[in-house]
Structure 1
Amino acid sequence: MRLRLYAVLAALVGSFLIPATPADAATTYRGDGDHLQRIRATTTPGIAQVTYDGDGYFSVWGLDSNGKEQQLLANSAGSYKGTAAYNVDTSNRLVALKITADAPWTIKLLPLSKARSWSIARNGSTDDVLRLSKPSRGLHSLRIRYTGGGYFSVWALDARGRRSDLLANKAGAYKGSVPLPAGSKYAVITADGPWSIVRR
């Protein structure tokens, strides 16, 4: 009985000595070819930084607990490097990643707070997620330009990282000025060519 009590106490003490995972820690997965990567199930919004070094078709789908393709995080014919947001809808629950590839890939999962900072102007040439230091207040506009030939979209997310407004949605080149809804803190860009966003 005494030995059993000592064992229980040792287990309890050991659990307190295990360092907690930092809230801003990144989790990185690497592979080569098709793969099903299980992750710790989460409903918290975050970003996925994805790279792929092949020439063939490549995609990354986020799966729910039933194995259903729920969130498309990357989709490319050939090499790819970009950032996508996940769990941006309240119904989302990411439990695994389904990777289709014929060459090496890397996926890094990070908190949404690690998205690229954005104050006035930002530009890029692929999928990206931008972060304001504080949620937008008052009346602001975004001057958006895209010169690629594929699908292009810009979504605004609120301070919780939840999808709120579709700001741009076009197949092909785009140029326009749109209002930025008050309370917006993130912008999620889907693009396969040069783009720029200027906040006014």
Structure 2
Amino acid sequence: MTQIPKGANIAVPAQVLQVAVAWQAVPGTPDVDVSALLLDAGGRVRGDADLVFYNHVEHPSGTVRHLGKSAPGAPGGAAADWLWLDLARVEPAVERVVVAASADGGTFGQMLSLDVRVTDLAGGPVAYFAIGDATTETAFVFGEFYRREGGWRFRAVGQGYASGLAGLATDFGIVVEAPPPPIPGPGYVTPAPPPVPGPGYVTPASPPVPEPGYAAPVPSMGPAQSPVTVAVDPFSTDFRPSVHQGRGKETVQCDPSLPPGWALLEIESYHSISTTIESCDAYGRAEDYLLMAYEDDVRARTVALVPRGRPLTLRVEADTPWTLRVLPLTHARRFDSRIEGHAHDLVVYDGPPGVLDFFHHGESNFTVHQHTPPSEPEYDAEDQDLLVNEIGEVRVSAPVPGPGLLRISGDGPWKCAVRR
């Protein structure tokens, strides 16, 4: 990968690229939220829509998207937050695309192995910039893509802000508003306030302070305990992404080296009557629908289960040319309190058991499937539950038993908030 120093720039291809802000997820260090700002010739955004981040995941032009986080497979492993951009289709009025991030719960100076890397869709290296001088900053501009002589270049910026994402965005002409409260679902009851102590209530006394020289008794450890087994995150399997292109109905056989488990499928097609993806059995016969989209322009995500002992085989169909990307599930967006999106998406719910409140603004069928791993880690099968199956503009709630994949399908914008 071409490593560039701070302030340097490099020519990049005018094509679809992925950008990752990466760090070492050591316990006690802050989390990172990456964002992109689309700027005009004056270095300012044209409106709120020109800020793409976790709460506004796609630019209206469809040329810049926030993909979400790649969580580490084990404490201390590498984590990253991802952007996707199609430089060939960026609007002519946009002169620069700035890659920035904010630190949640600390500063960038606390982070190890902080860098930004640019790759093509197949994972091929384009540019790499390591950050070595961060201190008290809570927001950072890592780099920017900018137009030059009919092409695009990437500059390593490395400029920090102590005022967080809001301060950074304000410098570029945008105001970041606080997120709205969660949407209460049917049957929601406002929690009662804590009881007021009645007459005669006595505040419990504080425990006595030990006198000087006091030595606390050493508790007995009892018999030796069995070592604790650490569960493997079923969403962290990693492999090299691949890209497949076609037109009409085609059968795609994926890389035989894909590990058994879930894979994220991302497809794009434009001006097609319908776009579908089906899984195939061992004989290449269509088996189950993974995606059915009837919008003119489709940018959708779904999930496939890579079988054990044979390659993942898919049947893809669209009236016009399509592009299919097979990605590790670490590229999926993750949430534990609220999330929003559009049409078809695949997200990871990380929270405990609770109730999911959904709102869908559309006209056609709106469904939510939850996929959970089997009790055994071999992924010979998966558990799948239909949580929601409604039509049109709906506000509906569904219980969720715990973490899992949510495969969401609709024809318009949707929101999901967690009620515990």
TM-score of the aligned structures, taking structure 1 as reference length: 0.74
Alpha-carbon separation, structure 1, partners of 2:317 and 2:384: 30
Q: Which amino acid aligns with 2:249?
A: D
Structure 2 equivalent of residue 170 of structure 1: 390
SS of the counterpart of 1:60? Answer: strand
Q: Which amino acid aligns with 1:40?
A: D
Please show how residues 28-67 of structure 1 align to structure 2 within 5 Å: 28-40=243-255, 43-67=260-284
Alpha-carbon separation, structure 2, partners of 1:165 and 1:73: 14
Deviations 1:127-159 (A, max 9, x none): 111113x4x33x421111112111111122225
Gaps of 5+ in 1: 1-21
Which stretch of the first structure deviates more once superposed, 27-36 or 188-197? 27-36
SS of the counterpart of 2:254? Answer: strand
**Is residue 2:340 matched to residue 1:123?**
yes
Q: Which amino acid aligns with 2:386?
A: L
Distance 1:174 1:163, change over 3 A: farther
Q: Which amino acid aligns with 2:293?
A: S
Distance 1:58 1:155, change over 3 A: closer
Structure 2 equivalent of residue 140 of structure 1: 354
Structure having greater relative contact order (Cα 8 Å, sep ≥ 6): 1
Which stretch of the first structure deviates more once superposed, 101-110 or 26-35? 26-35
Contact 1:48 1:73 in 2 (8 A): no
Gaps of 5+ in 2: 1-236
Alpha-carbon separation, structure 2, partners of 1:58 and 1:176: 27
Q: CA deviation at 1:50?
A: 0.7
Q: Which has the higher helix share?
A: 1
Structure 1 equivalent of residue 239 of structure 2: 24
Structure 2 equivalent of residue 193 of structure 1: 412
Q: Which amino acid aligns with 1:163?
A: D
Alpha-carbon separation, structure 2, partners of 1:73 and 1:63: 10
Higher Rg = 2
Distance 1:34 1:164, change over 3 A: closer
SS of the counterpart of 1:148? Answer: coil
Contact 2:339 2:416 in 1 (8 A): yes
Alpha-carbon separation, structure 2, partners of 1:159 and 1:55: 34
Please show how residues 4-15 of structure 1 align to structure 2 within 5 Å: none
Distance 1:76 1:159, change over 3 A: closer
Deviations 1:53-72 (A, max 9, x none): 23333322221112221232
SS of the counterpart of 1:113? Answer: helix
Deviations 1:3-39 (A, max 9, x none): xxxxxxxxxxxxxxxxxxx923211111233322222
Report the RMSD for the aligned CA atoms in angstroms. 2.7
Alpha-carbon separation, structure 2, partners of 1:80 and 1:144: 22
Distance 1:156 1:102, change over 3 A: closer
Deviations 1:76-126 (A, max 9, x none): 3332111001129x89x7632222223221111112232112132111121
Alpha-carbon separation, structure 1, partners of 2:252 and 2:384: 29
Length, aligned pairs only: 173
Distance 1:180 1:196, change over 3 A: same
Alpha-carbon separation, structure 1, partners of 2:320 and 2:364: 23
Alpha-carbon separation, structure 2, partners of 1:170 and 1:48: 24
Contact 2:272 2:318 in 1 (8 A): no
Alpha-carbon separation, structure 1, partners of 2:281 and 2:293: 22
Q: Which amino acid aligns with 1:71?
A: D
Distance 1:179 1:111, change over 3 A: same
Counting aligned pairs with the same residue, the percent is 22
**Is residue 2:295 matched to residue 1:81?**
no
Deviations 1:132-188 (A, max 9, x none): 3x4x33x42111111211111112222568334322111333212222213x23211
Q: Which amino acid aligns with 2:266?
A: Q
TM-score of the aligned structures, taking structure 2 as reference length: 0.37
